[in-house]
């Protein structure tokens, strides 16, 4: 299993548009084969940094997933929404593997 981290630089005056974009992916990503952890928008600190995070089995599975996502009606619509509205200024994608598993149990103070 690998995790895809997408770092977005967004227009700080278009956070609502990014939130709509994120909600759309919340529907399209899982139904096309990736385990969505979530989309995270600015709250405190930077007003321009946001993330999308999901798990996928492998890079080969990622390629097949991307093809399905591109063919999905909501996926196509969401790509077009971002292109048309231009609220994403920059997007970087990296794939990482969780190397700290297993984790200890959470201990609350």
Helix intervals (H) in 33-92:
59-71, 73-85
pLDDT of residue 73: 97
- Inform me whether the pLDDT recorded for 3 exceeds 90: yes
Are 65 and 34 in contact by the 8 Å Cβ rule? The answer is yes
pLDDT of residue 54: 98
pLDDT in tens, 31-50: 999 999 999 999 998 899 99
Q: Using alpha carbons only, how large is the chain's radius of gyration in Å?
A: 15
Q: What is the DSSP letter of 32?
A: T
- Inform me whether the pLDDT recorded for 91 exceeds 90: yes
The residue with tokens 């096309």 is 32
74 vs 76: CA distance, rounded Å: 5
């Amino acid at each position: 299993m690998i995790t895809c981290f997408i770092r977005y630089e967004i227009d700080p005056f278009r956070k609502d548009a990014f939130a709509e974009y994120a909600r759309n992916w919340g529907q399209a990503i899982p139904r096309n084969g990736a385990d969505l952890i979530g989309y995270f928008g600015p709250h405190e600190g930077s007003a321009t940094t946001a993330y999308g995070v999901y798990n996928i089995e492998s890079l080969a599975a990622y390629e097949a997933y991307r093809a399905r996502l591109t063919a999905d009606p909501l996926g196509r619509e969401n790509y077009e929404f971002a292109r048309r509205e231009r609220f994403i200024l920059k997007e970087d994608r990296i794939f990482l593997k969780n190397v700290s598993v297993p984790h200890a149990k959470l201990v609350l103070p």
